[in-house]
Chains A and B, each alone.
Chain A
Amino acid sequence: MKISEQDVEYVAKLAMLEVGDEEKKALAEQLSRIVEYVEKLNQLDLSGIEPTPQVITSVKHAVRDDRVAPRTGSSDAGRTVKLFKVPRVITER
């Protein structure tokens, strides 16, 4: 499938990226070639095949016991610094 400059602009917006006109043109060309290449996956019959988002399934998992343990190398982070200054991220409409 061909990626148009409009596609690039739309996806860039989703990704919170600014792209200039020259950049947009180059990206549309490069991404078209890449997307055409990855479409070789359409040659495969994937009916009945389960997806593999994670390879190792033997890990005992995500939800661990909730207990306090020292953080590596950062025992005083959060002790010396109590507050962080950040830019305003909540604005009025």
Chain B
Amino acid sequence: MNLKNITADKLVALYRNRDLTITEVIKTVYDQIERVDKDVRAFLSICPERALDEARRLDGQIAAGEPMEPLSGVPVAIKDNISVRDLPTTCASRVLEGYIPPYTATAVERLRAAGAIIVGKTNCDEFAMGSTTENSGYYITRNPHNLDRVPGGSSGGSAASVASGTSLIAFGSDTGGSVRTPAAFCGVVGLKPTYGRVSRYGLVAFGSSLDQIGPLSKSVRETAQALQIIAGFDHFDSTSADSAVDDYVKGLDKPIKGTRIGIPKEYFVGGLDAEVKAKVEAGMRVYESLGCELQEISLPHTEYAVATYYLIATAEASSNLARYDGVRYGRRPGSPSSIQEMYCRTRAAGFGNEVKRRIILGTYALSAGYYDAYYLKALKVRTLMLRDFQKAFDRVDVILVPTSPTVAFKIGEKTGDPLAMYLSDIFTITQSLAGVPAISIPCGKNSENMPIGLQLVANHFQESLLLSVAHHFEKAGGFTV
């Protein structure tokens, strides 16, 4: 039994037929973690006792003939910036070392109510700030396809876990591409839902107007199943949307013939790797063969995305991270002489370089004299980007672009140059700024055998359409294009 070769729906069917017990599968998961995770290091913490207790309890229910939940006994992993009661939640930061939340995020609560079993918490860039998981305050995670490469980030541990068969579904969070980039780099499916579609209650805040929890898995069907469970209004999150949740699983097989797919010319320019371009273009041909209509469109403000994002996200982060001051959370340095000293020393010792860099940039962008020149300006450019998408969605149903300009790069390749690192996010940022849903699906590998991601984007709350368009690609064999 290798979890790399099975999906959640098939696993649940095996349980239902009594071909497998949940307990034996959960034991297999921990054997697999023992085998592969010493190299991959997808997990920051694991919880075998709790998971096995849960497994035995669910096995008992099945034996007693009680009805099963949609994800009964499915092993899942949760990014370490999402709160799970009684499990460490560090956001991969030293400042939260030892913090154990007294409550569980709504999305996780719903996943557990659907029968899923949490096997552990996954590594990420500290407070989700990064594109490679190299900014973890604990250790780096490696790409299961090539251990010398990054898994992408910031949800790198979640993507690496799914890709290395140590979970079937993993939660990540996406602020500017943090679910989609690791999905592309690790060859799995990753969805960033519409802003507000999934409750952020219990997700540790980074950029509050951008953050969304999203699932990673090996198939579009599992993604649809997971979204089905976690989507919807939550009165604990005042930004969660109170709009109807479609039947995403049922919608998967809806015909897509005649679907209009937009190809924005701004994404196919210099900087895009030739092999990535070739595979994404091969993906377009798959859609043509499925009867979709491809049209060139324009998203003219794409080139301003990185600048806009790194002002808005850092400004929001500088405010959100003010709470780590040594009073309420994690560690604090011994016997400071003043309150000021306690704040400063806690933060100096607890935050890593990238987090400090972003806090300083964000504080600068919000500071007196610069607010209008930087932060407010960025919010206005965001309006232009939103209009770009609105105009595009008047003409097309879905937009198709690469997820990342390159495949996973080598560990250490970009850590010395923050701006180069930021620019690698170019293809995932506009969707976050506009709040539209986007999914990264595998579309083959390059000559070095590294996975390539194809990204589909839809209008607000059009996840059902997005997932069905992605599902047809998978069914047509597009994952191996």
Whether A and B are associated in the same complex: the answer reads yes
The answer to whether A38 and B104 touch (CB under 8 A), given A15-B359, A52-B382, A55-B435, is no
Q: Which of A8, A15, A72 contacts B201 (CB 8 A)?
A: A72
Nearest CB of B to A10, in Å: 8
Task: Report if A72-B236 is in contact (Cβ < 8 Å); known contacts: A19-B348, A87-B327.
Answer: yes
Residues of chain A within 8 A (CB-CB) of B327 are 86-87, 89
Chain A 34-51 per-residue mask, 1 if CB under 8 angstroms from chain B, else 0 = 110111111010100111
Distance A89 CA – B341 CA, assembled complex (angstroms): 11
* A53 and B238 contact, CB distance less than 8 A: no
How many angstroms from the CA of A58 to the CA of B195 in the assembled complex?
11
Q: A interface, by DSSP: helix, strand, loop or mixed?
A: loop
B85 at interface by CB-CB < 8 Å: yes
Please name all residues of chain A whose beta carbon is closer than 8 Å to the beta carbon of B347 when the two chains form the complex.
Answer: 15-18
Task: Kindly list chain B residues whose C-beta atoms are within 8 Å of the C-beta of A31.
Answer: 357, 360-361, 364
Q: Which residues of B contact A15 (CB under 8 A)?
A: 318, 322, 347, 359-360, 363
Nearest CB in chain A to that of B303: its residue: A40
Across the interface, name the chain B residue whose C-beta is closest to A74: B103
A13 to chain B, nearest CB (A): 8
Residues on B with C-beta less than 8 A from A35 are: 361, 364
- Is B308 an interface residue when CB atoms closer than 8 A count as contact? yes
* Least CB distance, B167 to chain A, in whole angstroms: 20
Q: How far is the CB of B322 from chain A (nearest CB, A)?
A: 7
* A42→B100 CA distance, assembly (Å): 44
- Cβ of A59 under 8 Å from chain B: yes
CB < 8 Å neighbour of B348 from A17, A38, A40: A17
Q: Are A53 and B209 in contact (CB-based, < 8 A)?
A: yes
Residue of A27, A52, A64, A72 touching B202 (CB-CB under 8 A)? A72
Chain A positions within 8 Å of B435 at CB level: 55-56
A83 surroundings in chain B (CB, below 8 A): none
Smallest Cβ-Cβ distance to B324: which chain A residue: A16
**B5 part of interface (Cβ distance < 8 Å):** no
Interface size classification for chain B = 35 or more
- Chain B residues contacting A3 (CB-CB under 8 Å) are 364
Using A49-B384, A56-B196 as known contacts, say yes or no to A38 and B310 having CB atoms under 8 A apart: yes
Chain A residues positioned under 8 Å from B58 (CB to CB): none
Contacts of A88 in B (CB 8 A): 339
Count chain B CB atoms within 10 A of each CB in A8, A38, A89 and give the residue with the most. A38
**Interface with A: B178-186, B370-378, B447-455, which one?**
B370-378
List residues 445-464 of chain B with CB under 8 A from any CB of chain A.
Answer: 460
- Contact among A49, A61, A77 for B103, CB-based, below 8 A: A77
B379: interface (CB < 8 Å)? yes
Name, among B306, B379, B386, B460, the residue most crowded by chain A CB atoms within 10 Å (CB to CB).
Answer: B379
Chain A positions within 8 Å of B278 at CB level: none
Taking the complex as formed, is B38 at the interface, i.e. its CB lies under 8 A from any CB of chain A? no
- Contact in complex: B345, A11 (CB < 8 Å): no
In whole angstroms, what is the CA distance A80 to B309 when docked? 42
Q: A16 vs B344: C-alpha distance in the bound complex, in angstroms?
A: 5
Which of B328, B342, B351, B377: most chain A CB closer than 10 A? B377
CA distance A41 to B318 in the complex (A): 21
A41–B308 touching, CB < 8 Å: yes
Residues of B within 8 A of A27 (CB): 356-357, 360
- Counting from the closest, the 5 A-B pairs by CB-CB distance are A55-B435, A73-B104, A51-B379, A74-B103, A18-B348
A-B contact pairs, 9 of them (CB 8 A): A16-B343, A16-B347, A49-B380, A49-B383, A50-B380, A51-B380, A59-B241, A73-B85, A86-B327
